[in-house]
Amino acid sequence: MLPDDVTGEELDLDARAELRSLPKDLALRVARHLVMAGRLAEEEPETAYLHAKAARRLASRVGLVREAAGFAAYHAGEWSEALAELRAARRLSSAEDAYLPIMADCERGLGRPERALDLVKAPEAKKLDQAGHIELRIVESGARRDLGQYEAAVVTLQIPELRDRRLRPWSARLLYAYADALAEAQRESEAAEWFARASAADRDGETDAAERYAELEGLEIVDTEDDESAGTLEPGQDRQAESAGEASAPLAEDDEDDEDDEDDEDDEDDEDDEDDEDDEDEVIGGEAETEDEADAGDEAQAEVVAAEPRPEPEPQDESGGVPEASVPAEPSDPTAIAFMAAPAEPETAPETPSGAAEEPVRDVPAPEVPEAPAVFLEPQAADEPDEEGPPSG
């Protein structure tokens, strides 16, 4: 039965053009069978081969149909049918060289490696493109192993494409075939290395390179997705889970120790911040106390100044002048300059002629003595007496 969602329009333009030689309804049925054969080739190769055989019964004279039947038989492991269909496709189409790698591999499947090597050396092999040439090399290496030529099988795959650093469509298959040849030649260490490379290149999971690598290294691959979906562990995996838990326990303890260290560091940082804040408070408090002490000192100084007695006015002699004691002393530094007020000359009473009667002294108020102007005096030595002095009375 053909599903309703398959219309036949899924084929490419070249394939549909080749089916135009058939009636429209027949071409539509053939196209739908070919679409199903291609869709199920990898997952259900037997069912895919059934659809291909149905298309061949409807249109056995179309090269595209015989080619599809040969590929479907090859994936289903039907080596003889695949070889017969591909030979027929070569006669009905112009692509005589396109099927050489598959036909040589079918000869290997039938247990005829010598015929496979004959196809490898056929003149049509020179017309293959790079991908076809690499596929033919892989088949040749397998045929050499079938004949017991293990080292020759390894050398057959030592081509420049094996060392290509860029990922190509054939990279996974080529690396896997080379690793398989090394394993057959009892070179396990090298085989494990190349199986690892093949596994890295096989992004679509076409090969079992990962399983082969694990087998050579003595490892066990656990499918975590199936375990999670099932929700239970199968017998024998409990110990693995415990071992994994034990292995992760030191890591968890290390993480806790790291968290404790981080907490201790945070506590130390907080204590340092609190100490800094206390120091700032002490500094601020000390500044406040200093200001208070300064204010108290100013008030005490003001009280002392207020309590000091005011200087009394200097006494004047009877003549109204300033006594010598009031004259400031010369500076101790002989080179210093001192400003002194010149002494006022006392007024002398006019002399009376001899024999004349002295007039009685009357209380006459003392005249106001004008302030003497400032006189600039040069400094003198301390041991020399003053040349100038107040006039004698």
Chunk the chain into consecutive blocks of 10 residues (it has 393) and report each block's average pLDDT, rounded to whole numbers: 86 91 93 94 94 95 94 96 94 79 96 95 90 95 97 96 91 96 96 96 92 90 60 45 43 49 55 52 45 49 44 47 45 47 48 47 52 53 48 44
Distance between CA 311 and CA 309 in Å, rounded? 6
pLDDT at residue 76, rounded to an integer: 96
Closest CA relative to residue 207, chosen from 236, 171, 238: 171
pLDDT at residue 315, rounded to an integer: 47
115: CB partners within 8 A, 6+ apart = 104, 107
pLDDT at residue 300, rounded to an integer: 43
Distance between CA 290 and CA 285 in Å, rounded? 8
Helix, strand counts (H, E) of the chain: 14, 2
How deeply is 328 buried, as exposed, middle or buried, from its count of CB atoms within 10 A (0-12, 13-18, 19+)?
A: exposed
pLDDT at residue 82, rounded to an integer: 96
Q: Which amino acid would we find at residue 385?
A: P
Closest CA relative to residue 338, chosen from 393, 303, 386, 304: 386
Distance between CA 364 and CA 229 in Å, rounded? 138
The alpha-helical segments, DSSP class H, found in 185-319 are 188-201, 209-217, 224-230, 237-307
Sign of CA dihedral 167, 169, 174, 175: positive
